[in-house]
Chain A
Amino acid sequence: MIRLNRNEIPISFPKRMIKAIKNSIDELNRYAFPSNVEKLLHLLSDYTKCPKEAIILSTASDILLKEFIYLFANKRQILMAEPSFFLIEATSRKMNSLILKVKLKKPHFKFPIDSIIEYLKKPTLAILDNPNNPTGSLMLDESDVLEIIENKNVILLIDEAYHEFSRASFVHLITEYPNLAILRTLSKGFGLAGLGIGYLIGGEQIIHRFEGISTMLSNPNVIAGINALNHRKYFERKVKEIIEEKERVINEIKELKLKITIFPTSTNFILINTNLPDIVEKLEALGILVLDVSSQFGPGYIRVTIGTREENDYFISALKKILV
């Protein structure tokens, strides 16, 4: 099966990195060494240009996302984009808060900031993924973010999971706005889906709420994270290649002149409207897994991850076979 449904990047890792991770397997009975955790924090601080005291670590950014909602949703309405990363809604539904969704409109899926201004007067937890999943759009610009966080009633968490692809970030606003937090991961741009490290960057007011509930990290994950950040240039090259490959795939699909719509994307995946209700099943029958997002957009919509060149070519030929 060709897996183009989970936004994993098609990558091989530097030999030295693999060796270091393999060596860490010998000590599976150990939690991560504090010195390694400190090393990882130092590297992330350098990468984000934020002090290490502003960074919380976890084995997955999903865990930090859920914790953030649990910690800050009480007595606040929760604001999110529609659609957005499934876990934002799924976790918010567990809270006893009013959920306010803001519809993103085709084709650019920009966040309509003017639609929510009046609602920001009430205590609000806003969770916005930028770039947005599953549309791939950069839905926020800096003026939008400032408009939101100028309200002291609001706590804003921006999920920048796909930051390495979009190069857009609001992490530089953290020091000035204590009500802002940024969520990141090494699972996408650094390819560590299998040995995850997620991290949250926030001001003291936010970081303080996480005190006493941090959990032990796994040693192989921390080693993987350290090595990934020590090979930044390598991963930056890989991301650049994926972005170029994405453009190639989009152009080749457009050249087929199929009756489909490809939406602009700043990530490693593409949202496509194929207008064919059973497209997911038809692709699966040809050995390709894509994400069915019909429940969010209507029949025929799929989210497709950029894979290897061979995988992408096979996907393009499958589309041609099904839709022509």
Chain B
Amino acid sequence: MNTRKDDKVKVGLIINPVAGMGGSVGLKGTDGDAYKKAIEMGANPVTPGRTRELLSHLKNKGKIYFLVAPGKMGENVIKEFDLEFEVVGNIGEETTPEDTKKIARLMKEKGIDLLVFCGGDGTARDICDAIDLSIPVVALPSGVKMFSSVFAINPKAAAELIDKYINEHVDIQENEVLDINEDSFRKGRLDAKLHGYLKVPKIQSLVQAGKSGSKEGRSIAENKEEIAEYVIEKLEKDTLYLLGPGTTVKAITDHLKLEKTLLGIDALYNNQIIGTDLNEQGILDLLKQFNKAKIIITPIGGQGFIFGRGNKQLTPKILKMVGKENIIVISTEEKMRELDCLRVDTGDPEVDEMLKGYIRVIIGYKEELIASVDC
């Protein structure tokens, strides 16, 4: 971890001033001009209060040098606290997603070690567009839509993450950022696409060995490596593998020293990539060419969807053709521990029914978890 500025950790802070305003007045978000409607309906900003709560819970204040966005995007809140900071960037009277992205990129150039932002899925998407997987983030939940799995539980938990990051008691994992269609959401439908990933610190979960008190643990990266090794050992010759999105799946192709799209469906055949970022038609064309096909996927999002979130290219037609017995689910043990079950939402009730029941999830080298599909 870089520590500069007199051995202090450089932490960026960006607040989305409009995120979460829709909630109290019953709007399903503040994307686009929706926030103007929220203001007309009497909504008040939510994010400043949440950020104040986070800052008040920080224990390692003396070890942090903040780079903060100007005015209502951060400066106005942080100056209430006895914290060392500088203001980065410029904004106008009204702020836009472009301001978030511009300032995040500026902070990245200035060498921040960690970026803290306060907002919802929309803000997470903007941050993702700006910094991708370059810098870990702590996301303070304050939106109406918070389906992405990047968010801390609450301001206290977010503060704890920052403190633990500073003391280097964290693993870093890549969590999904989802793109929720707000119009569909307003109509009661959850239409989610996988937008990208952000690096998120996770407090090291050590397996405490009961009576002896000794501890052992494997990092998330080690876990992914083990899964990749095991899957590769089981790969069959002359079989088409449709590889779903996600870093756990990508670890397989990384191990094979192949390029894979992070968010798309790629095709693997006899250890070669033969198709990238495939749509439904592209997949169907390949299925026609090969006798045997399997799908390798990982749960997307905090609710454990294996189909229906972030991999809609794997349509019900394709899933019927491949069959449940040829679906290989892989996941880090960390993710599976926090899920009660896996879920499906393919859009076709018959296919959803086909997928329900129990499925084996590869969670390590020669280690599988029998999990139920659909709670």
Measuring CB to CB, which residues of chain A are less than 8 angstroms from any residue of chain B?
6, 62, 82, 85-87, 90, 93, 96-103, 105-106, 112, 114-116, 119, 275-278, 291-299
Contacts and interface: CB of A to CB of B under 8 A. Distances in A.
Given A6-B210, A295-B206, A99 B336 contact: no
Contact of B160 (A90, A96, A278): A278
B130 to A, nearest CB: 28
Nearest to A295: B205
Contact of B207 (A86, A297, A298): A86
B371 A103 contact: yes
A6 B211 contact: yes
A283 to B, nearest CB: 14
Contacts of B95: none
B170 to A, nearest CB: 12
B209 interface: yes
Contact of B209 (A90, A102, A114, A276): A90
Nearest to B59: A278
B209 A86 contact: yes
A85 to B, nearest CB: 7
B288 interface: no
B370 A102 contact: yes
B370 A116 contact: yes
B142 to A, nearest CB: 18
Contacts, number: 85
A82 B360 CA distance: 13
A87 B210 contact: yes
Interface string B90-109: 00000000000000000000
A128 B336 CA distance: 20
24 contacts: A86-B207, A87-B209, A87-B210, A90-B216, A96-B366, A98-B366, A99-B366, A99-B367, A99-B368, A100-B360, A100-B368, A101-B367, A101-B369, A103-B341, A105-B340, A115-B370, A277-B153, A277-B156, A278-B160, A291-B210, A295-B205, A295-B207, A297-B337, A299-B157
Nearest to B339: A103
Contacts of B338: 297-298
B217 interface: yes
Given A98-B366, A295-B217, A297-B337, A112 B211 contact: no
B271 interface: no
B276 interface: no
Contact of B358 (A62, A96, A115): A115
Point out which of B360, B364, B366, B371 has the most chain A C-beta atoms below 10 A from its C-beta: B366
B351 interface: no
B208 A103 contact: no
Contacts of B337: 295-298
Interface of B: 153, 156-157, 160, 203, 205-211, 216-217, 336-338, 340-341, 358, 360, 363-364, 366-372, 375
Contacts of B208: 86, 291-293, 295
Contacts of B206: 295
Nearest to A133: B210
A105 B210 contact: no
Contact of B372 (A101, A112, A275, A291): A112
A101 B358 contact: no
Contacts of B157: 277, 299
Nearest to B369: A101
Nearest to A115: B358
A103 B336 contact: yes
A87 B341 CA distance: 25
Given A106-B340, A277-B153, A86 B210 contact: yes
Contacts of A6: 210-211
A103 B363 contact: no
B366 to A, nearest CB: 5
Given A112-B358, A297-B337, A299-B153, A103 B370 contact: yes
B273 to A, nearest CB: 28
B153 A85 contact: no
Contacts of A293: 208
Nearest to B340: A105
A101 B153 CA distance: 28
Contacts of A103: 336, 340-341, 369-372
A243 B88 CA distance: 60
Given A86-B210, A99-B367, A105-B372, 5 more contacts: A101-B368, A103-B372, A115-B358, A115-B372, A293-B208
B203 A277 contact: yes
Nearest to A8: B211
Contacts of A101: 363, 367-370
A90 B210 CA distance: 11
Contacts of B358: 112, 114-115
Contacts of B340: 103, 105-106
B263 to A, nearest CB: 26
Nearest to A98: B366
Nearest to B210: A86
A82 B331 CA distance: 15
Point out which of A103, A277, A297, A298 has the most chain B C-beta atoms below 10 A from its C-beta: A103
Contacts of A115: 358, 370, 372
B149 to A, nearest CB: 12
Contacts of B369: 82, 100-103
Contacts of A98: 366-368
